[in-house]
Amino acid sequence: MPHTLLYIRCLLLTAATLILAAATAASQLPNGAGSLQSPDGKTTLKISVTNDTSMTFAISRGGKTYIDTAQVFLSYGDNRNALNPTKIVGTKWNHKLDTLRSKIWERAVQPAIYNELLVKFQEGQRTLLLHLRLYNQGFATGIDISDPQKNTPNDYHTTYHWVNKGIFHLMDTKTENGYNSVMGKDMATAISPTLTMSTTDTLLALTHEAANYEFFSRAKIILNNFSVTIGQGGLYQIANYSTPWHYVVFADNAADFMEGKYIDRSLCMKPTERYDWVKPGKVYRHIGNRDSDFATDLVKRSIDFAAQMKFQYVLLDNGWYGLGYDAEFDPDSDPMRSVAPLNLPEAIQYAKGKGIGILLYFNKSVFLQSSADSVLTYYSKLGIKGIKTGFIKNRSQQDNVLASHVITKCASLHLVVNVHDEYRPTGVEMLYPNFLTSEGLRGNEHLDNTGNHTTTLPFVRYMIGAGDYTICYEPADTTRLNLQTTKAHQMALSVVLFSPLQHIFWYGSPDWYTNNLETEFFKSVPTVWDDYKVIGGFPRRYIAIARRKGNTWYLATISGLLKTDISFPLSKITKRHSKITVYEDGDTLGTIKKSSFNASPDFMVNISIRPNSGYVMVIEPTGK
């Protein structure tokens, strides 16, 4: 792992240990019990000790218990929990008011407030520092470990037993399969994150991990009779480190639930360097199935189209150095040279003259078979602006180590990064903001995705960070892609689904898009935002969200498999008189219609859309 990252984490551990040094016996948990309240006083974490050897906690909000039993478990091969209450040597309560800031998020300024209990365990020379952290929208647990003997834990997991009987939305071991639904009483295995919903629509809860830089393999989920267990395996033998955080966001409505997105970021380390050079933007993908598809003149045509559309990047996807996938089975695939028809330096310079940055695709095997440093340095000197990596399966610690190294090396070269396939964000993107997006979902390359899927994504995958959905769009003249969602739905996705690098027209060709009415929206829509407001929604039904850039709000709504009707005053978004521009599906299938009008803050927004459809409203202040 990068030495700087390890050094920082060791400093944090040392600082936390020093905080507890002054703890006295009087601050220890007395035979059992203690409690912690959220900053707003509505959520309580109640700690219990049974038989003097087992410590559990329960979570309630507004007097209603949601989790009656939860436990953090860390074992060193003897099947005993090392977090043994008889080994507690100190405790301390902390209150933290933090502020998270970034110009490349979906909210530029985000308060992060929490109360925390730190419990220090000592067994021989080994020190374990358990963090129990409580937010208004959720809670988190994590462990700092200091062990001069460098013993390696073989099991680290956290279990939550939900009182609310509900339904779980989860991914199996392959993210391309999307989300399955199982009843809470059933048994199932999945990968995080997992969404829990009550059958009465009174609970939304997300279980995930944070700050997993490269120490562990990615978290897995086990469901069994309304219990959710999130756990890791496989760990480097390092004396001083921190486990990933395990955390839960929960609320009784979509707006409060999505406010909990900041919890993930607040658990991760902040960057130690300046990243003002990082440039978000929209990406046009240049694709091909043979060498001739990457001829320099064809690449230039894609660059011209991106400039015309006011995009910021062109991606040369798989094939620019030869066709080969997971094992690079094509012996002619050489990552150090482009295919013969492509003059890459010429294309890069041409793009630079048009204000377009070139992104290059690299298969994971490139970095396994050759030096990532030399490959990335070579293309950085040629003038590329970033990379997309493919086939990061995210199932092993090896993938974590590889991805972390590529991201950190790209940071040193001022290259932005998009990690594709099964990789899901857990905190590296917070520490290294050049890591702008990742896949880790069933993207729009699966043309049969319906609104059932896209209305679920905001409540699961997009709760944990930016996601590259690879948005597609039908051409103006005919239906070539046979998408299962409408054009207005696809437009709305560029607002609903957050990604600082937003791919649009994933399977498209420049000659497809000649209708200015259909393309003007994509020219202006931002990819990063100053603020957002969730108007409403529920998984597999609909989502309505408004995002602000500067003084302009973009309201987007998408529907699932049912017709959607919502109504609310414009004042829920803005208190100003505004010019409203609406993009919605036309009366004829496969068309878009546009309308404009002025409105006061008391104007009632009434939206009615059919299944798998969408609606976009651009709200600009008129100065009144």
- Beta bridge partners of residue 113, listed in sequence order: 97
Q: Say what the pTM is.
A: 0.94
Cα of 488 vs its chain's centroid, Å: 24
Whether 314 shows a pLDDT value over 70: the answer reads yes
Provide the pLDDT for residue 9: 43
Q: Residues of the chain with pLDDT > 70: what percent?
A: 93
- The length of the chain is 624
Q: How confident is the model at residue 2 (pLDDT cuts 50, 70, 90)?
A: very low
Whether 301 shows a pLDDT value over 90: the answer reads yes
Mean pLDDT of 279-286: 98
Provide the pLDDT for residue 325: 56
Identify the helix (H) or strand (E) that includes residue 585.
strand 578-585
Q: Which of 339-343, 454-458, 479-483, 520-524 has the lowest average pLDDT? A: 479-483
Whether 366 shows a pLDDT value over 60: the answer reads yes
Letter string b/e over residues 230-252, b meaning 16 or more CB atoms within 10 A of that residue's CB: bbbeebeeeebbbbbbbbbbbbb
Provide the pLDDT for residue 388: 97
Question: For 84-109, what is each residue's pLDDT tens digit?
Answer: 999 999 999 999 999 999 999 999 99
The domain 281-526 having CATH identifier 3.20.20.70: the answer here is yes
∠ CA 596-602-604, rounded to 5°: 60
Whether 31 shows a pLDDT value over 80: the answer reads no
Whether 601 shows a pLDDT value over 80: the answer reads yes
Q: Judge if 3-266 and 281-526 fold alike in CATH terms.
A: no
Range from 268-277, 388-397, 476-485 that averages highest in pLDDT: 268-277
Identify the helix (H) or strand (E) that includes residue 117.
strand 109-123
DSSP states along 26-63: GGS--TT-EEEE-TTS-EEEEEEEETTTEEEEEEEETT
Question: Residue 172, Cβ neighbours under 10 Å: how many?
Answer: 14
Q: What's the CATH number of domain 532-621, 1.10.3720.10, 3.40.50.720, 3.40.309.10, 2.60.40.1180?
A: 2.60.40.1180
CB 545 within 8 A of CB 458: yes
Whether 624 shows a pLDDT value over 90: the answer reads no
For the chain, helix, strand, coil in percent to 5 are 20, 40, 40
Provide the pLDDT for residue 165: 79
For the chain, what is the mean pLDDT? 90
Provide the pLDDT for residue 4: 40
Q: How confident is the model at residue 409 (pLDDT cuts 50, 70, 90)?
A: very high
Q: Which of 221-235, 304-318, 484-498, 554-568 has the lowest average pLDDT? A: 221-235
Mean pLDDT of 367-372: 83
Provide the pLDDT for residue 28: 58
Q: Which of 131-135, 183-187, 430-434, 520-524 has the lowest average pLDDT? A: 183-187
Provide the pLDDT for residue 1: 41
Q: For the chain, give every domain's residue range.
A: 3-266, 281-526, 532-621
Provide the pLDDT for residue 368: 82
405-to-6, 373, 399 alpha-carbon distances in Å: 13, 9, 10
Whether 408 shows a pLDDT value over 90: the answer reads yes
Provide the pLDDT for residue 331: 62
Where do the H-state alpha helices sit in 251-357?
Answer: 254-259, 262-266, 296-308, 344-353
Q: Which of 100-109, 308-317, 322-331, 417-426 has the lowest average pLDDT? A: 322-331
Provide the pLDDT for residue 538: 95
Whether 6 shows a pLDDT value over 70: the answer reads no
Mean pLDDT of 385-393: 92
Q: Residues of the chain with pLDDT > 90: what percent?
A: 75
- Tell which wins on pLDDT, 236 or 602: 602
Provide the pLDDT for residue 33: 66
Domain range 3-266, CATH class: mainly beta
